[in-house]
Amino acid sequence: MHIGFCCPGVSPEPWQAEIEQLMPQARLSVWQPGAPADLDYALVWMPPQAFFDEQPQLRGVFNAAAGVDALLKLRLPPQLKIVRLEDAGMGLQMAEYVCHAVMRHFRRFDLMAQQQRQGLWKQPPEPDRASYAVGVMGMGVLGSRVVQALRAFDYTVHVWTRTPPAQLLPGVLSHVGAAGLPAFLAHSHSLVCLLPLTPQTQGLLNRATLSQLPRGAQLINVARGAHLVDQDLLALIDEGHLESATLDVFHQEPLPADHPFWSHPRVRVTPHASARTLRTDAARQIVQKMAQASAKVPWAQISGLVDRGRGY
C-alpha cells in the first residue's frame, strides 16, 4: 500500500514512523510536484490543488483533522472518498476548553480578576445554576464529548442540530433546524459553536442570531472563524447585550496584529489551540480506517466518511 503525505508545513518524519510501525506493509512518501501517480491513499492537511490534479487515481484521502471545509473547496475527483479524523484525543481537550470558558462566565471569574487588579475584596453575586443554560451548536464527536463534560458539572444543556440527534443525555434538551433555532438561542447563556463550516452555517453567528441570546450571554467559538460576523459580535458587546466572547478560530489565521479582537477587554483570543491533533492517536485511527478500506470494507461502513453534499 502506497500512502502519500501532503501536509504542507508539517514535519513528515514523525508521521512516517507512527504509520509504518502500525502498518508495516505500508509505504509513506512525502508528495512532491511531478511525482508518479501511483498513490493508493493520501494523508493530507491543507493540500494544494496540484496534489489532486496529479494523483487522479487515489482511492481515498484521509484528512488529519475533523474539519474538511478547506478540502472541499478544491476540485476533487467525483469518485474520491474523503474520511475525516474523529476525536483522536481532541474531544477531551475541547471539553476542557469549553468548560473552562463556561465556568469563567458562570462563576464570574472575569469580574473577580478585574476586582483583584483594583484591589477590591468583594464577592460576586451568587450564581443561579437553575436559571443558567449552555447552548451547544453541533453534536458530532466533539460536540457530544463537550455536552457530556458540561453535564458532569450539572449544567443544563441545550443542543441545536440540523437533524434530530440519535440520543441525548439526561438534562439535555434538543432543538432542530431553522424552526428550533430561536428557542435554542433564547436559552443559551453561554453559546458554544461546534458546527462544521458549510454554505448554510457560514456567517450564522451574526447580529440577527446573537441578539436573540439572553442579555449578558457569552459566545464561545471553537469551530471556524467564518461562522462569525466579527463586527456584529463587537457591536453587541459594546452595546451591552453580550458580555464577552472566547474565540479560538478566526477568518484569517494567525489573527492580524491590527484586528480589534486583540485589544478588546471582553474578548479572549486563543491561537486555534482548543483541541490539537494528537499524532499518535490520530495515526492509530487513520491506519485503522485505511486498513478497512484496503480490506474492501464498504466505504459507507468506515466511520468519518464525509458526505460532500452536507459538507461534513
HSE of 260, CA atoms in CB hemisphere, 13 A: 11
Whole-number CA gyration radius for the chain: 21
Helical H segments across 11-108, by residue range: 12-22, 49-54, 69-72, 90-106
Q: CA dist 129 to 189, 252, 288, Å?
A: 11, 36, 42
Residue 272 a catalytic site member: yes
Grid cell at residue 195: 458546527
Grid cell at residue 32: 512532491
Residue 158 a catalytic site member: no
150 and 205 Cβ atoms separated by less than 8 Å: no
41 and 3 Cβ atoms separated by less than 8 Å: yes
Catalytic site residue from 145, 187, 224, 227: 224
Catalytic site residue from 207, 251, 272, 284: 272
For residues 228 and 205, what is the distance between their CA atoms, to the nearest angstrom? 5
Grid cell at residue 102: 463556561
Secondary structure in 3-state letters for 105-173: HHCCHHHHHHHHHHCCCCCCCCCCHHHCEEEEECCCHHHHHHHHHHHHCCCEEEEEECCCCCCCCCCEE
Tell me the Ramachandran region of residue 67: left when phi exceeds 0, alpha when psi lies from -120 to 50, beta otherwise: beta
HSE of 249, CA atoms in CB hemisphere, 13 A: 23
Phi/psi at 216 (nearest 5 deg)? 90, 5
Residues annotated catalytic, as ranges: 224, 272
